[in-house]
Amino acid sequence: MDHRLPEGVTLGRFLEQQKLEPLREDPLFQEEMLTLAIQTLSFGDQEGGPSGKSLSLPLAGMHVNLEYQGKYLRLCITEGKEKTQCTQGSFICALSVTWEDFCAQATDWVEREKGRILGACEAFTRDLTEQITQGYGLSILAELNKTLGIDLFLLDKHFKVLSWEGGERLPVHPISFVTPKLSHFKSMDLTMETPLGIGKWNDSQYKDIPLSWYPLAGHQGVLGYIGLGIEHGELDPVGRLFLYKTAVLLYFELAKAQSVEDTERQHYRDFLFDLLYNNFDSLEVVQSRGKLWGMDLTKPHLVIVGEIPGYDPDSADQLAFQELLDAVSMVLRNQPRTIFLERNDQIVLLYPLAGMIPLSQWEATAKKLLSPLLILLGGLNEERSMMFGVGNLYPSTRFIHRSFQEAKSALELGQLFNLQERVILFQDLGVMRLLLKLEQQELEDFRNEVLGPLLKFDQENNLHLEETLLAYLASDGDLNQAGDRLFLHPNTLRYRLKKAAEVLDRDLSSLETRMNLFIALKIGRLKSLWQE
């Protein structure tokens, strides 16, 4: 099929067709006004005229208000439909016919122009629809490429290139680009007026070639993007109309594919949930089902859980988290054997290993496997940093559920105790991981037995002795370090420690006393997890 892009409706063409000549001596007239596209044409409310009638074109453009002034016609150009302010300027033309005849001629011409453009667009859309019904859905981008004469390519929501139509300024084969971010778009509605996002190529060789993004968004969210090898303001309104019509068809094609993908993904998620929560009758069943998804569950897997500390899904962070997930998905494409799941605002990663490795190598192995993600996250601001908890490594898939719970615990405890490491191993948590296995009431009883008098004293006197003791013991008894943590003068710290020893009636220099106090204080921090 061969479709040519119809000529647009500009102010210059309108003046030419109506035989109107701007008065060149008019200081308000500028030649560049003639290239402006028209969206709406309004006739002033004059006797013998169409009484304020407006004509609209299905195109983006300017509003032009026509005011009859005897033998002259004043044209006022605005960006919106407000008639009171000529935001783009105004000028005068000599009028050689009556106002009534002019209005009739202008109306007839605008209606014919509308029919010409819409007819061409409908024929184009009809041919695209025919291609889709024949099973060539994504190939319609090639037709848009021929019609617009610009380089185009199509991405799915995971930024996979589905179709590439280069050859103008871009190569005929795909090149690397910086993935678009949702936060860079002013609007995500699929309309002709949707602003194009500004893109960028990864390779400096193509830095002078422009790149714009048109998001394919609708009731199912963003399902993909059309990349255009032009500046964001370079496409004229008629081109935007053809782009919009094609984008709507592509969105529905992606929505159909998304529906199938969602069904498959739900089955995939169901399987992973069964794996993580040990909902299988036998090891043979889980291994055979894993094969269906391309997983080798006969090998040990290192289980890692990551999340953004303090992330609130009901805040503006939601967009940042989605962008982070998109970036993580891109990185993991280069690790096809890695099992990846997003759940409850966390990401779960299962890395298959060739075999068991010594405990001393767990941390180095985890950081090596995570290194692509750590590099990615290192380029983000601190507010969007991610922490990772690593579970113990077991020889059998049967214990993946245990490793998963350990990874979550490592992540929770790492945040609870304000650990500075980005990667926290469950095996490094020492006595704290043992406390997690004890009954809450048993732990609470021990805490009250050791710290009871001090807790009561704090409630009555507000001296923060519990906080002081924890900082002191966490600093290995270093008064200066503990003072820095608490922003206290060493003398004030000494006074508080002396008071704590008196209240508890214990010798703080005793190793056994320090150990019991430290455990009891840590139990106090664990209570925040119980409340959740």
Using alpha carbons only, what angle is made at residue 90 by residues 88 and 96, rounded to the nearest 5 degrees? 140
Q: Which two tokens stand for residue 414?
A: 């790492």
For the chain, which domains are there? Answer: 11-118 (no CATH), 137-261 (3.30.450.40), 277-429 (3.30.70.270), 440-531 (1.10.10.2840)
Identify the pLDDT of residue 437. 75
Q: Is 297 helix (H, G, I), strand (E, B) or coil?
A: coil
Residues 96-112: what's their mean pLDDT?
92
Lowest mean pLDDT among 203-207, 246-250, 418-422, 477-481: 418-422
Has residue 286 got a pLDDT over 90?
yes
Lowest mean pLDDT among 80-84, 132-136, 383-387: 80-84
Identify the pLDDT of residue 219. 85
The dihedral region occupied by 101, where left means phi > 0, alpha psi between -120 and 50, and beta the remainder, is alpha
Identify the pLDDT of residue 53. 83
Q: Which residue has the higher pLDDT, 135 or 432?
A: 135
Q: Which of 271, 400, 440, 393 is nearest to 341 (CA)?
A: 271
Q: Read off the pLDDT band of 49 (50, 70, 90).
A: very low
Has residue 384 got a pLDDT over 70?
no
CA distance 179 to 213: 10
Has residue 89 got a pLDDT over 90?
no
Has residue 215 got a pLDDT over 60?
yes
Q: Read off the pLDDT band of 288 (50, 70, 90).
A: very high
pTM higher than 0.75:
no
Identify the pLDDT of residue 64. 92
Task: Please report, rounded to a whole number, the percentage of residues in the chain having pLDDT higher than 90.
Answer: 55
Has residue 419 got a pLDDT over 80?
no
Residues 323-332: what's their mean pLDDT?
80
b or e along 483-520 (b: 16 or more beta carbons within 10 Å of the residue's beta carbon)? bebbebeeeebeebbebbbebbebebeeeeebebbbbb
Has residue 294 got a pLDDT over 70?
yes
Has residue 66 got a pLDDT over 50?
yes
Lowest mean pLDDT among 96-105, 231-240, 308-317, 332-341: 308-317
Identify the pLDDT of residue 125. 95
CA distance 229 to 364: 43
CA distance 131 to 484: 71
Q: Which of 95, 32, 87, 98 is nearest to 65 (CA)?
A: 87
CA distance 10 to 13: 5
Q: Is 303 helix (H, G, I), strand (E, B) or coil?
A: strand
Q: Read off the pLDDT band of 530 (50, 70, 90).
A: low
pLDDT in tens, 431-463: 777 777 788 888 889 999 999 999 999 999 988
Burial of 104 (0-12, 13-18, 19+ CB in 10 A): middle
Identify the pLDDT of residue 48. 45
Identify the pLDDT of residue 436. 74
Angstrom distances, CA of residue 445 to CA of 70, 204, 439, 520:
97, 65, 10, 10
pLDDT in tens, 497-523: 999 999 999 999 898 999 899 889 888
CA distance 496 to 458: 11
Give me the chain's average pLDDT, please.
88
Q: Which residue has the higher pLDDT, 223 or 333?
A: 223
Identify the pLDDT of residue 383. 53
Identify the pLDDT of residue 166. 93
Q: Read off the pLDDT band of 137 (50, 70, 90).
A: confident
Residues 280-285: what's their mean pLDDT?
90
